[in-house]
Structure 1
Amino acid sequence: MQTKIYKESELPMNQFQELGLVKDNQISLSQENINALLSGGRTEILRLKNLNLDGEQIEEIDVKISVSRNEAGELELKQHPVYKQAIRPQALTLEARELELGIRENLVKMVKGEDGKDREILFEFDKETREFIATDISRINVPDLVNNQELTAAQKDAYRKGKEVSLDDGTTFRFAAAEKESIRANRIALIASIILDGGISYLVYHSLKNLSGGKNQNVESERLSEGYSTALQDFHDQLENGKAQKITGDNNEINQQKEETRSRGVSR
């Protein structure tokens, strides 16, 4: 789930410029990719051209990028190129092969950190970059509601551990660090909400990949569920009443989603 942990003003403009990702003094990425960075996630695959990195001329390279804080507390750009061969984490043995082959979508394992403390780590394999991703589950942001249904403690724990969570409206979703939205679902769209002291934060997702990482292409996945439609209406009501404290996504996109809900109908 995308909850912004960095400010856009903190993004290292000079490093984006080195990658040819600045135009007219603005980072030339889609808002979805910028949101992914600000949430501590990764962008989609980007094709970079005519780069000069450390004195080496690179005509073309496909990468995902992310940002993280360095020892000085500043944001630093990280590149995740498409590897010819995956480098397996030391913490994984036979499980690594299962992740690579897609036999398992993810797994949680207790790993000792640099501070000597044991932490539960969620391991995934990014098929696009052929890279293993390790996420401390204590740092995964979990929604309070999805499609207007409040998640139970058990569902929140399952989401944090990368397990599938099913709702009454037929929607099933799970956390996925490899995606720019950090989530996959059996429907192309869903709305997640976080309850805050001053109101509710709504996160509107669309064009989501299916639970296995492919495109949602069947008719059922394209139908907007009843829970989604109710959550979207609540979002607009809260916004009009000034109770929607934080909005993720472009207002034009959200209004378009509302119109699509009316025209396409809903399903359970």
Structure 2
Amino acid sequence: MRWGWSALLEKAPESSFSLTAIGWDTIITYFVIYFLGILIGQDIWQRVFTARSSRVARSAGTFAGIYCILYGVIGAVVGIAASILLPNLDDANNAFAAIAQLALPDGIRGLIIAAAMAAMMSTSSAGMLASSTLLTQDILPALRGGREIEGVRINRLCTGLVGVVSVIIAINVSDVIGALTVAYNLLVGGMLIPMLGALFWKRSTTTGAIASMLAGCTGVIVFMLKDGLLANSPIYAGLAAAMLAFLVGSLLTRPQSMASSMP
């Protein structure tokens, strides 16, 4: 039996090596939800803010982007190999672990699985810290009439609560791509427009931002229920609703600085 890259090219269908096999509409949608989702993700920015200097932040971001491209290519190659070597694999989400178990010796196999687990733990911990920060710095103070929450204990409790909820969701969700698509649809649909507006439009207001978040998330949810969770339409419907609500809400109200300066 032949092995190696030439054998992979020979046995894999031609569509496996096509960059546009999933269709341009899906490619553009993935770019919008994942690229822009990472661009505004708090779990990413909390890493940026811990950099020693702006130079370190720029170089780290550049290297991380290059690494992600390589990681995506390698992941695709592993998936193609799995479709050939393990055609009867029950769950495609297990392709990486199955290929590692099939093709690698014990020691290397353990290192690869450990590295994959470390990457997942790093991503999960960043997401949990971002969620607990939102709870302790935004949601709970708002429920307490603006009084800030202080103390390590409450932060630990919120982080633990987020972790428990995450585990429950992970147990009940079997499609990784589907779960990520739903999450990033809501993130980008609800947050992209108000964040960009706050940065680049001086006429933007808090009311417009809140209206944009609510309208964007509502648009995404409605079209996910209408067209399916993995459809391309929810993110565009959410962005359109968010843009309209942001413009209307901001134009009907005064910016905070203007409102506070009025007699």
Structures share fold, TM-score greater than 0.5 = no
Which has the larger share of strand?
1
Q: TM-score, normalized by length of structure 1?
A: 0.28
Which has the larger share of helix?
2
Q: Rg larger in 1 or in 2?
A: 2
